[in-house]
Amino acid sequence: MTARNRGTMRSFTAAALAMSVGLMLLPACSGDDSSNGAGSPTGASSSAAPSVAVKAVGFDETYRTDDGVLVQITAIDDSKLGPFPDTGDPDAKEGDPFVQFTMKTTNSTKSTLESVPTVVLRYGPEKTVATEVRVDELDGAQELEPNEAYDYTVGFIIPKESYDQVVMEMTVTLDPLRTVVFAGSITPS
């Protein structure tokens, strides 16, 4: 197995793991969010390990794990697909709208961590899985030294009428497993 294949395999493994964790997390994130804009769900807290007790934070908040990994969404922007869109939607075409989430992961722990950012986004009352639009090339794992940060952008096709019901589940690291969840409404600029 080559180094490139290991990175690809790691990404597929992380994606499968994130989907599995996401299914467990949805009941914890399905509360009503009556806030205006990108508010946080009631009773939001963070956890370093996924479980049915994992709570979500709002899209305008920083998610903090117990051991000091910080994840925040620094921008949410409306965008349009360019020519030859890189997405899993076979019907996607140039000019179609999508939403970009610019994220920042900061290692505030005392040791190096291997970040494997894998994001699954669901929207609407049925928690439909959003189609990803590849914006940044997430090239497998990223080594983060203590106090180092990593910025990246992910994109998803989300119907505007579902902007008030969005759940983003992200696997940050695999060893140990750290999963973060953002939920609520979004207001792209």
* Full-model pTM: 0.72
Residue with tokens 């998610």: 63
Chain centre to alpha carbon of residue 162: 17
Domains defined for the chain, CATH in brackets: 3-184 (2.60.40.1240)
**How far, in Å, CA of 144 to CA of 37, rounded?**
32
pLDDT in tens, the chain (189 residues): 444 333 433 443 344 444 444 434 444 444 443 333 343 343 333 333 334 456 799 999 999 998 999 999 999 999 999 988 889 899 999 999 999 999 999 999 999 999 988 899 999 999 999 999 998 776 678 899 999 999 999 999 999 999 999 999 999 988 888 999 999 999 999
**How far, in Å, CA of 70 to CA of 77, rounded?**
21
**How far, in Å, CA of 104 to CA of 93, rounded?**
29
Q: How many CB atoms lie within 10 A of CB 103?
A: 23
Residues in the chain: 189
**What DSSP element (H or E) covers 21?**
helix 3-25
